[in-house]
Structure 1
């Protein structure tokens, strides 16, 4: 990047933003990332409203300085706040944190990029909003808007978070305001109630794209049901997996209105939530199969565990429990139902138990309580502890977890897998074959995103202090991607170092995306390299 151009742009940005709005010295600290990625970041800009965002982009166009927007920068395992390419100025949107509209009757809310899962929960509680926040395991400090744009998902209704988006406002790379067609025609209210608008559906360009900076988003919220009942099931026999997988599909099809998602977790993933990493038992960072089996036996961890929730009235919930027993009974060893009342009973019981048993029961109750709160649409950072299993320093109690800041090494591999027993087995074999070759333990979760497809999240955990371990983890991701491409298991989202995989072979998809990008951003100043490859001059 031309140093004169960046200096000139910074001088103009300093007149647009307040004192805290331009960070040049110390900008590199924004590049802390669990993936080990390192980028050259000339500055960080912190606008306070959408008018400032528009002015920032106009200056960027004038001086042809690339900018990279982030909502809160807490994109753990995918690059955190780092841009795809070097020399991009970070556009930190966390100060745009207003909840501008809430229709309690219709269940729609309009948020800016800096609105976090925790902030939305607090807002709904203050305004008697009897709705569920679309939570994820990433924690209360993560952006609602950013997760939806990345097409994130959760275990609560509505599981597909971009599916809940009804309306978008964005600043285009030239600084002009984009609004959806119905809003432009004067139908702002109905626009927030109906996803598709009228005419070509252009909002999708802003999801996993770099066509504009989304400054407002309206989302539909799922109403809180009369009851939320978690169910947990397990099988000790790994050979039952092929029978369990189609049963999960059958459950979703039979109970689709009340059971919206199910997680399957292998024994190593469960152990990561129950015990510190046993470094003394590892060989080159990997737990041998006999050690995994020994640990699993000592902690009572089965080969596969499952979890889901019933969202329904009391009457429907009773019927759903009967259906779950009928369907899951033949392929599982254990099926239990848990709600807040039962967790409370367990905590009360722990007060009269012997100390060692009491500690174990309280720990179990705390874990279950954290899981239940997420199912109730109340975010917490219970699941975020996973990032610290191999490295990183846990913050003091009461302080929010921040895996990037705290030194954790984590890269997510998140491929899509058909809900078929044979396909899942092929996929499991692939993960278990490749990960240990690179010093990575194969921790596997399979989450249903519909009744046809799992998304599997495999955390590549490593010691970020060790450059060799960091390099091996990134090599592991590439090996998994290449093997998955051959087997048909490709990720639904990419980290910043994997964006180039979409630019292979000059596909029609890449050409069209690049041509659209060139039309709205000919100088490529907005998030260059993010999902959309640069167009070649021969293709203009």
Structure 2
């Protein structure tokens, strides 16, 4: 950092302390180290951290940053596992930690929506709805109770229910621009608007999308739609025995999605994804050999009754609607697999049966599977859980904090690639033909979940799990990521989101799109104050 830059930073810090309080401006080495942690092979370090408590604080922070030409990087709660966590794209930026802005501003039970700040977590909103006995469900992700709802929506993340597309079910933003102005989108910019959180589009150009996966402003408030508690809910599960059976699975499920029989998200996890949810890598059994030998992989599958692919989803509606959908789904999947439907009564009965068998010591595997199903059903019903963070520990050789599943507390190595595919069985097979040899080449296990997120598209979340304590393995993980990223791009399977280490790669194979994005950036933030490099490829191919 040059002398001028150091002076500017010192002046900015002094101004921020005056604006938001000394206790909310952090720059000692210990705090810097804490905020530099992430699951990627290599992270970035901030110059300082500021923690606003209100939209006025954010506005003041940005005005000071622009005046002193200090680059800042906002985040909601920093639980962006596998994509960079709370780290900026470049070192030396000042992090804006929005975690203090955690107010639930409104819950409208008649129209089933909430208005929240970026620091509101999944657990916080869930508990608020429960405490007030509001008959509303939120849509959860598997990122854990402490993950931000707003943060996931702005990354266009997804969950499990009919409201599983989190950006689609958001409505109305408050955004602070780089010059400190506060923008309300949709109808929110009109005085006394009655429709700001019920009608997404407003009038004129639709701006909300500009502030998702971007660096054009800081979102300080978001409206989200909540699912009215359904009269009836059933989960369903089925497995298939061969990897090639993914073709049949997708071909069976697509018509059900397009006809509205399946109106929620359906997740299809391969055996390795499910194995990693229950177990860590068997280092002793494999004598340190990687990747996981096929014989041991098959043994895991057999002992726990997993399939090569494992399908889960939910049915939401009235009793008659659920009964009708069950019938249609059962008929459609009959030639592919034996499907199981589970409601509250069946789950309760299964737990009692397992408890009885446990006295004989013969139900350990079944009990573990049942606990996992119970946690998955919780997610489908809007109940946050930490259970699925266990999968991030797959390749970790030693657990640093046995009391925590937080990937950062255990120095976990994890990267995610998330390509979008057309919803065809051919595309699913093609994906695995690309993924498998690359993972084998670099000696990793392809942990894959294919999620049917719309009626026509699916996303494959592919994990590269590695031991960060092993420098050789960490370097191989980076090489594996890069090789797979470009292989998927060349095949036309582009990512729906990406990590801080691959923002520049987004220009690969593109044309004018990112130039237009950059033009908008220059118009709104000419001095590149907010999140420089985030969804802003610098080096075109």
Distance 2:231 2:334 in 1: 26
Residue in 2 that maps onto 1:347: 351
Matches within 5 A, 1:258-269: 259-269=263-273
1:137 aligns with 2:142: yes
Matches within 5 A, 1:40-119: 40-119=45-124
1:393 aligns with 2:396: no
- Kindly indicate whether the alpha-carbon contact (under 8 Å) linking 1:45 and 1:92 is maintained by their aligned counterparts in 2: yes
1:15 aligns with 2:14: no
Residue in 2 that maps onto 1:278: 282
CA shift at 1:274, angstroms?
Answer: 3.0
CA shift at 1:223, angstroms?
Answer: 1.3
Alignment deviations for residues 65-101 of structure 1 (CA, whole Å, 9 cap, x no partner) = 1000010011100000000011101100000000111
Distance 1:505 1:254 in 2: 34
1:370 aligns with 2:413: no
- Kindly indicate whether the alpha-carbon contact (under 8 Å) linking 1:154 and 1:161 is maintained by their aligned counterparts in 2: yes
2:451 to 447, 453, 461: 447
CA shift at 1:394, angstroms?
Answer: 7.0
CA shift at 1:505, angstroms?
Answer: 6.8
* Structure 1 residues 244 and 101: CA distance shift in structure 2, 3 A: same
- Kindly indicate whether the alpha-carbon contact (under 8 Å) linking 1:339 and 1:372 is maintained by their aligned counterparts in 2: no
Distance 1:15 1:113 in 2: 23
SS at match of 1:490: coil
Distance 1:315 1:127 in 2: 29
Alignment deviations for residues 209-255 of structure 1 (CA, whole Å, 9 cap, x no partner) = 11110000011112121111111111113343322211010221234
2:441 to 433, 437, 445: 437
Matches within 5 A, 1:19-418: 19-25=22-28, 26=30, 27-180=32-185, 182-256=187-261, 259-280=263-284, 281=286, 284-332=289-337, 334-353=338-357, 354-391=359-396, 393=399, 395-397=401-403, 401-418=405-422
Distance 1:502 1:234 in 2: 35
SS at match of 2:269: strand
* Structure 1 residues 199 and 89: CA distance shift in structure 2, 3 A: same
Which stretch has the larger CA shift, 100-109 or 230-239? Answer: 230-239
Distance 2:274 2:106 in 1: 40
Which stretch has the larger CA shift, 354-363 or 17-26? Answer: 354-363
2:475 to 471, 476, 482: 471
CA shift at 1:387, angstroms?
Answer: 0.4
Unaligned stretches of 5+ in structure 2? Answer: none
SS at match of 2:173: strand
- Kindly indicate whether the alpha-carbon contact (under 8 Å) linking 1:460 and 1:473 is maintained by their aligned counterparts in 2: yes
SS at match of 1:330: coil
Which stretch has the larger CA shift, 340-349 or 159-168? Answer: 340-349
SS at match of 2:199: coil
Alignment deviations for residues 114-165 of structure 1 (CA, whole Å, 9 cap, x no partner) = 0011111011112222112121011110000000000001111212100011
- Kindly indicate whether the alpha-carbon contact (under 8 Å) linking 2:304 and 2:365 is maintained by their aligned counterparts in 1: no
- Kindly indicate whether the alpha-carbon contact (under 8 Å) linking 1:68 and 1:91 is maintained by their aligned counterparts in 2: yes
Please give the TM-score of this superposition, normalised by the length of structure 2.
0.95
- Kindly indicate whether the alpha-carbon contact (under 8 Å) linking 1:228 and 1:375 is maintained by their aligned counterparts in 2: no
Unaligned stretches of 5+ in structure 1? Answer: none
SS at match of 2:450: strand
* Structure 1 residues 106 and 284: CA distance shift in structure 2, 3 A: same
SS at match of 1:478: helix
1:527 to 527, 531, 535: 531
- Kindly indicate whether the alpha-carbon contact (under 8 Å) linking 1:32 and 1:405 is maintained by their aligned counterparts in 2: no
Distance 2:493 2:116 in 1: 34
Distance 1:469 1:534 in 2: 29
SS at match of 2:362: helix
Alignment deviations for residues 12-40 of structure 1 (CA, whole Å, 9 cap, x no partner) = 11111223201100222111101133213
Distance 1:535 1:241 in 2: 37
Distance 2:509 2:489 in 1: 14
Residue in 2 that maps onto 1:426: 430
Please give the TM-score of this superposition, normalised by the length of structure 1.
0.95
Count of residue pairs the alignment pairs up: 532
- Kindly indicate whether the alpha-carbon contact (under 8 Å) linking 1:445 and 1:458 is maintained by their aligned counterparts in 2: yes
* Structure 1 residues 325 and 42: CA distance shift in structure 2, 3 A: same
